Amino acid sequence: MAGITIGKLAAGEGVGVETVRFYQRRGLLALPDRASSGFREYSEDDRRRLTFIRRARQLGFTLGEISDLLGAGAGDERRTGDIIQAAEAKLAAISQQIRDLAQLQCRLRRLVQVCAHGDSEDCVALHLDLVEGAMP
C-alpha cells in the first residue's frame, strides 16, 4: 500500500487533521518521515493505530490508558491480556459510577417528592436556602 497523507488518514477515520497531530504530540502516533513528494506519508500500521485509538476513546479509555495499552508488550498475546485487564478495570469503574448515579437519582427523586407534596419545612432545599439567606 502506498503511503497516505495526513488528510486522507484523518478523513478515513472520521477525525480532523488536528486530532491526528494532537495524538502525535501526545506520543500516541509517530510522525512519519517525509516522502520524496515532500509530504509525510502514513502507513497501514499508522491507520490501524489511529483506529485503535479512536475505538478505545469511544469505549471511555483515557489517552493515558491508551498510551499504556499501545506501549504494552511486544507480542499480541501480552497486548491482548493487557487490553482485557484494562477493559475489566474500566468495567468495574463504570459499574461503581452506575451505582453512585442510581443512589443520587433516588435521593433527587425523594427530594422532588418531598418538595412537591410537602410544605416548605419539609423541603430540604428550601430549608437550606432560608438558613443560608440565599434568594431563589
Q: What is the pLDDT of residue 134?
A: 47
C-alpha cell at 46: 499508522
Is residue 86 in some structural domain? no
Segments forming the whole domain that contains residue 22:
1-61
* Confidence check: pLDDT of 136 > 50: no
**Residue from 95, 97, 71 nearest 83 by CA:** 71
Q: What is the pLDDT of residue 52?
A: 93
Per residue in 73-126, pLDDT tens? 555 555 788 889 999 999 999 999 999 999 999 888 888 887 888 766 667 665
**What are the φ and ψ backbone dihedral angles of 70, each rounded to 5 degrees?**
-70, -30
Q: CATH number, domain at 25?
A: 1.10.1660.10
Is residue 36 in some structural domain? yes
How many separate domains does the chain show?
A: 1
Q: Are 50 and 20 in contact (CB under 8 A)?
A: yes
Is residue 29 in some structural domain? yes
Is residue 6 in some structural domain? yes
Cα–Cα distances in angstroms (integers) from residue 108 to residues 47, 97, 134, in the given order: 46, 16, 20
